Amino acid sequence: MAQRGIQPDSAKFCCSICLDLLRDPVTIPCGHSYCMSCIKDCWDGEEHKEIYSCPQCRQTFTPRPVLQKSTMLAELLEEMKKMGLQAAPPDLCYAGPGDVCICYLCSMDEHKGHDTVSAAAERTERQKELGLSRQKIQQRIQDTEKDVKVLQQEVEAISRSADKAVEDSEEIFTQLIRLVEKRRSDVKQQIRSQQEEEVSRAEEVQVKLKQEIAELRRKDAELEQLSHTQDHIHFLQNYPSLSCLSESTHSPSINIRPLSYFEDVTAAVSELRDKLQELLSEEWSKISLTVTGVDVLLPQPEPKTRAELLQYSCHITLDPNTANTQLSLSEENRKATRMAEEQSYPSHPDRFTGWSQVLSRESLTGRCYWEVEWKGIVYIAVSYQDISRRGNRDECVFGYNDKSWALICSNMNRHFRHSNTETKIRLPVSSRVGVYLDHRAGILSFYSVSETMTLLHRVQTTFTQPLHAGLTLGGGTTAEFCELK
């Protein structure tokens, strides 16, 4: 084991790689000098990295510097040799345990007058360090095994809880289905019972009316026959009894109404269905958020770079059923264009009728990232599903209510809006905007995406429903959800 040393007055002329006086000295761009063979060997080992560094200051160079002999240093070293400046005496360069490097000559147990430490002594010191290192490693293994055991217990607890939740949910939904089936049966039975009663009443009246018709026809026939008799006495004697009519079984003023009663029943059942759908939609959002709220691990750190954000990239398409009639969708429903003429969309309750807006088909929970290429004037937004859509009221516009959040971009102005509160953004916005959503953590961030990522605005809140991506387009505006790879 060895470490070469040189006298203090000649220390500046040693090579920090071989620790000896410089041979064929070269000076690299950072100003440090080495033996030509030493620095070549060092850099030959870095060829696979394509970046070369100084062994002393670690400054890097690309491409590999061209090495040329330093004439001045070579002449100085030649003069030093003539003056007899050689390696320093042993007492100036003692190498103790922990102060070595192992060179080729040391490994061969051959040394040229430099100070040494026996391999056995150095091994003893290193053996102590090895024992401490092993203790640290074993402690970390124990700690990690504990974490693995805890996580395994959590996984088993999650599985048990999930199985129980599925079982309970199945039972509850079965009860709901039975309740609906019971109500369906009750309505059916009630309709049939009412039908039978009303039909029976109608048939009873119908029989009486037919009997009355038969009696009237008989009298009419008798009166016709009497009208043809030539016997005046016979005519006068029989006419009073024949002309006398019995009371009608029904009043001529009673009108039988059209059978519209059961149409009202259909309307009532339809109303019940609509209310149930609305209730299920509201409650489903709560159930969904409760399910996704299950979390064993601690929250992960928020991504900072585009590469980290792209790990959460999601594919987003626009929902034609929500698109305002002035928006044309293309590129497999990823691109929206504001048109001068109205588009021929079918009527749909989810459609925005007053503002040139559209929502994504996908609902967004968990961690999501997407990017939008825009031109013109565009609101890049997220919104709850139950945002108002009818008319041109402010409560229907992204960012002007408590159900949506919007970054408003144009060539002149940039600002963020939520609950009709505006926040100015003084940073420039590129033609591509990135949106990061951590639904569970309540984080919504907007970025300007170019060669670098610039955070434009960050929201910290609590989201109570799944979100949808949204766009509002001004005149002559296009916006497209980018395909991220």
**At residue 91, does pLDDT exceed 50?**
no
Phi then psi for 480, rounded to 5 degrees?
-140, 135
Burial 22-58 (b: 16+ CB within 10 A, else e): bebbbbbeeebbbbbebbeebbeeeeeeeebbbeeee
In this prediction, residue 25 has a pLDDT band, given cuts at 50, 70 and 90, of very high
**At residue 81, does pLDDT exceed 80?**
no
Q: What is the pTM of this model?
A: 0.48
Which of 86, 116, 133 terminates a domain? The answer is 86
What is the distance, to the nearest Å, from the Cα of residue 90 to the centroid of all Cα atoms in its chain?
Answer: 69
| Model pLDDT, residue 231 | 87
Report pLDDT digits (tens) over 415-469.
Answer: 999 998 999 999 999 999 999 999 989 999 999 999 889 999 999 999 989 999 9
Q: How many CB atoms sit inside 10 A of residue 413's CB?
A: 11
Phi then psi for 340, rounded to 5 degrees?
-75, -35
Residue whose entry in the numeric block shows the structure tokens 């920090």:
16
Residue 170 shares a structural domain with residue 77: no
* Sequence-ordered list of residues with C-beta below 8 angstroms from that of 344, at least 6 positions apart, any chain: 325
Residue 314 shares a structural domain with residue 394: yes
Q: Is residue 114 part of a domain?
A: no
Of residues 307 and 198, which shows the higher confidence score? 307
In this prediction, residue 77 has a pLDDT band, given cuts at 50, 70 and 90, of confident
Q: Is residue 111 part of a domain?
A: no
**At residue 100, does pLDDT exceed 60?**
no
Residue 277 shares a structural domain with residue 139: yes
**At residue 93, does pLDDT exceed 80?**
no
CB 97 within 8 A of CB 117: yes
| Model pLDDT, residue 90 | 39
| Model pLDDT, residue 96 | 45
| Model pLDDT, residue 109 | 46
**At residue 8, does pLDDT exceed 60?**
no
Residue 347 shares a structural domain with residue 383: yes
Report pLDDT digits (tens) over 372-384.
Answer: 999 999 999 999 9
Of residues 323 and 260, which shows the higher confidence score? 323
Residue 311 shares a structural domain with residue 403: yes
Of residues 388 and 280, which shows the higher confidence score? 388
**At residue 39, does pLDDT exceed 50?**
yes
Q: Out of 125-129, 257-261, 460-464, which region has the weakest mean confidence (pLDDT)?
A: 257-261
| Model pLDDT, residue 404 | 97
Residue 429 shares a structural domain with residue 310: yes
CATH number of the CATH domain containing 20: 3.30.40.10
Kindly state the tokens that stand for 34. 């080495």
Number of domains into which the chain is organized? 3
Q: Is residue 136 part of a domain?
A: yes
Q: Is residue 154 part of a domain?
A: yes
Q: How many CB atoms sit inside 10 A of residue 444's CB?
A: 22
Residue 358 shares a structural domain with residue 247: no
Q: What is the mean pLDDT of residues 468-474?
A: 97
Task: State the average pLDDT for the chain.
Answer: 84
Q: What is the mean pLDDT of residues 391-396?
A: 87
Residue 339 shares a structural domain with residue 276: no
Three-state DSSP class for residue 390: coil
Q: Rounded distance, CA 340 to CA 327, Å?
A: 9
Between the alpha carbon of residue 144 and those of residues 48, 132, 134, 147, 347, the distances in Å are 35, 18, 15, 5, 59
Kindly state the tokens that stand for 99. 């102060």
Q: What is the mean pLDDT of residues 248-257?
A: 55
Report pLDDT digits (tens) over 216-233.
Answer: 898 889 888 888 888 888
**Residue 161 belongs to what domain range?**
124-293
Residue 425 shares a structural domain with residue 462: yes
Q: How many CB atoms sit inside 10 A of residue 437's CB?
A: 25
Residue whose entry in the numeric block shows the structure tokens 């387009």:
473
| Model pLDDT, residue 405 | 98
Residue 138 shares a structural domain with residue 178: yes
Which of 68, 86, 104 terminates a domain? The answer is 86
Q: Is residue 163 part of a domain?
A: yes
Residue 321 shares a structural domain with residue 253: no
Q: What is the mean pLDDT of residues 269-292?
A: 77
Kindly state the tokens that stand for 252. 């001529």
Sign of CA dihedral 75, 83, 6, 18: positive
CATH number of the CATH domain containing 347: 2.60.120.920
**At residue 105, does pLDDT exceed 80?**
no
**At residue 4, does pLDDT exceed 50?**
no
Start-to-end Cα distance in the chain = 54
- Of all helices (H) and strands (E), which one includes residue 104? helix 104-107
In this prediction, residue 87 has a pLDDT band, given cuts at 50, 70 and 90, of very low
Q: What is the mean pLDDT of residues 124-153?
A: 88
Q: Is residue 4 part of a domain?
A: no
Q: How many CB atoms sit inside 10 A of residue 201's CB?
A: 10
| Model pLDDT, residue 137 | 93
Q: Beta strand pairing status for 25-27 and 33-35?
A: antiparallel
Which of 36, 59, 86 terminates a domain? The answer is 86
Q: Out of 125-129, 210-214, 253-257, 298-302, which region has the weakest mean confidence (pLDDT)?
A: 253-257
Of residues 51 and 426, which shows the higher confidence score? 426
- Sheet harboring 404-409: ordered strands across? 357-359, 467-473, 378-384, 404-409, 414-418, 421-424
* Sequence-ordered list of residues with C-beta below 8 angstroms from that of 361, at least 6 positions apart, any chain: 317, 318, 319, 333
| Model pLDDT, residue 73 | 86
Sign of CA dihedral 377, 379, 385, 389: negative
| Model pLDDT, residue 435 | 98
| Model pLDDT, residue 293 | 62
Q: Rounded distance, CA 382 to CA 469, Å?
A: 4
Q: Out of 54-58, 164-168, 258-262, 280-284, which region has the weakest mean confidence (pLDDT)?
A: 258-262
Residue 267 shares a structural domain with residue 333: no
DSSP 167-216: HHHHHHHHHHHHHHHHHHHHHHHHHHHHHHHHHHHHHHHHHHHHHHHHHH
In this prediction, residue 10 has a pLDDT band, given cuts at 50, 70 and 90, of low
Q: Is residue 300 part of a domain?
A: no
* DSSP E strands, 274-330: 327-330
| Model pLDDT, residue 473 | 96
Q: Is residue 74 part of a domain?
A: yes
Phi-psi region of 366 (alpha: psi -120 to 50; beta: other; left: phi over 0): left
Q: Out of 258-272, 300-314, 322-336, 393-407, which region has the weakest mean confidence (pLDDT)?
A: 258-272
**At residue 328, does pLDDT exceed 90?**
yes
**At residue 120, does pLDDT exceed 90?**
no
In this prediction, residue 367 has a pLDDT band, given cuts at 50, 70 and 90, of very high
In this prediction, residue 248 has a pLDDT band, given cuts at 50, 70 and 90, of low
